[in-house]
A and B are shown apart, each in its own frame.
Chain A
Amino acid sequence: MNHHQDTNALIEDIAVSRRGIFRAGGITIGLAALLAACVEDAEDSKPARVGEAPDPVPLPEPVFSDGVLFRTAASLHFSIIDAHNNSKELGDLTAEQAAIVDEFIARNTEAIAALETLTETAGSKPWTCANPRFNRVVVDVLKDRITGRPAEGNKEAIAPSDDPNRDALAMAYAMESVAAATHQSYVPKFSKPEYRAASMLLGQDSARRSAALALAINPANTVNPLLIVNATLEDPPTTAVAETATTVQNIAQDDTTASTEPAAAVVAVAQVYYAVPSLFGILSPFQLAIGAPIAGSQFTLNIETPSINSYVYDYQDEC
């Protein structure tokens, strides 16, 4: 009996009351908060990852410099040579036209040599091949518009050009115009005046080639008529403006007399390229209409001068 009484007394001594539990819990939480506040902050540099994944490769830092501009300009001239070779290959050029394009290729090659020297002077390594992005989004696209292309994957088929000669010359004109605009656009980006002069020396050469080709395409393509109109407001120009073909549907036409033969696809208004297209050198995208017409209109590509996403940065070391 005595033994039973001793056991009850022991249980009463170690019994845990509600108040005791709350007190112990409060003390524990308080100590935990204190310790958490005092511990040194540390960031986990390697957060937890799930599954197998390769370590991310850090992107190289694209540093912008005079050398990058010269490398990019050289790459553009390489791309232009590619486009000119496409013109020769695909454009059914006459001997005279082929000679013009050959001369353009030679002069672009000279420009590249000058740009490579300038690149080294600016502290960069010369770039010796075409601009990858410009070729992908411009040169290759223009080529497809002349040769045509079957449907591939989600890309629709492209009909071959109805007039490869027209399109090849238009492409050559566009390339030289874009080269001139590119050199002009780089002027405010160069850090040294002498680099600007050297760049524009090459840019004005491109402008001359563009003008000469416009005259070769059509000697009447001299000055943009808009400039003439503005210059002769008191004395209207004597040059007759060619009538543009209408593309408006004749809804009053009698259906019974309408031909059931589909009309041949023709370019309603062919794009005209002028020796002097504007008052100042413009930097807006060159809009080149090219390829077989669809409902009277040609595919139009906006060709922009190479910019941030097309620069050939110094970290790019493989052609």
Chain B
Amino acid sequence: MDIKEAAPIPAAAQSGAAPSGADIATTARRGILAAAAAGVAVSLVPWLNSRASAASTTPESTTPGSTETTVEATTTTAPPKQPTADDIALLDLLQSAELAARDLYDVAMDAQVFDGSVAADVAAIREAHEGYATSISGLIGRGAANVRNDTLFDALEADFGGDADAVSAAAALLENNLVATHVEALGQIVGVDGAALIASILVIEARNATLLTSLSGVDALADLLTSNGEALSPSDSPVE
């Protein structure tokens, strides 16, 4: 399950043409399905391990009469309900992306890119992203970072101030990127509550992507159904 190493929000890909978008999406899809089929999950492990090392709660036991410390093997058969420390690091990344999305829609609304019913639709989508960030915050608790992902926001800010069709295309790509990021994260999140929440978010963001693609003037069915998003890199997380 490969997660993209470099910050994958290229301006070229956001222009709407993105000839390689379908290839990227196909590769990502195959990667996720193949990873699940192979029963492996490795993409975020190094990053998570480095983060988890600072706040490890792994139980340890000391053998009597010995100075060696042995780490107990995990014997849990059912996944935990609450987010683990690694889950929280991932949820912080997802929350930061949702807050960036909210602010990007604010850019479009402040510039009055849309009007009429489309403006109302965009306002609803903007509200939804804020709601997702709030929900993730509620799941994490007091430790939630509540920080916007500036890398994502800065990369797309200019794309949310053009004409309506172009902004719709940029917004569709943003939604597709969020879907890809959430799916990648879902393959790493251990806690059941966090996984269920992220699943309920990404299924609507996929719908948002289809709607915004349609609003951008694209009506080919294959384009409406394509998930040509790229997952955010963990290195883009604003939370240390």
Contact = CB atoms under 8 A, between A and B. Distances in A.
Interface in A181-217: 181, 183-184, 187-188, 191-198, 200-201, 203-205, 207-212, 215
A220 interface: yes
A230 B125 CA distance: 11
A231 B203 contact: no
B33 A117 contact: yes
Contacts of A227: 124, 127-128
Contacts of B37: 117-118, 121, 198
A99 B126 CA distance: 33
B91 interface: no
Interface residues of B, number: 61
Interface SS of chain B: helix
A239 B120 contact: yes
Interface residues of A, number: 55
Contacts of B123: 228, 231-232, 235
Interface stretch (B53-61, B139-147, B187-195): B187-195
Interface string B163-196: 0000000000000000100111011111011011
A223 interface: yes
Given A207-B204, A281-B199, A197 B186 contact: yes
A99 B192 CA distance: 39
Contacts of B222: 103
Contacts of A150: none
B224 interface: yes
A175 B116 CA distance: 31
Contacts of B4: none
Contacts of A267: none
A227 B130 CA distance: 13
A238 interface: yes
Given A100-B221, A238-B120, A203 B203 contact: yes
Interface in B115-141: 116-121, 123-128, 131, 135
Given A193-B187, A196-B195, A279-B204, 12 more contacts: A103-B225, A188-B196, A193-B195, A197-B35, A200-B186, A208-B225, A208-B227, A223-B120, A232-B124, A275-B210, A280-B135, A281-B200
Interface of A: 99-100, 103, 107, 114, 117-118, 121, 180-181, 183-184, 187-188, 191-198, 200-201, 203-205, 207-212, 215, 219-220, 222-223, 227-228, 230-232, 235, 237-239, 275-282
29 contacts: A117-B37, A121-B38, A184-B203, A187-B199, A188-B193, A193-B195, A194-B40, A194-B187, A196-B186, A197-B32, A200-B202, A201-B33, A207-B203, A207-B207, A208-B227, A210-B207, A211-B207, A211-B211, A212-B210, A222-B117, A222-B211, A223-B125, A228-B120, A228-B121, A231-B127, A238-B119, A276-B124, A277-B207, A281-B204
Pairs of residues from A and B, 3 with the lowest C-beta to C-beta distance, nearest first:
A197-B187, A198-B36, A281-B203
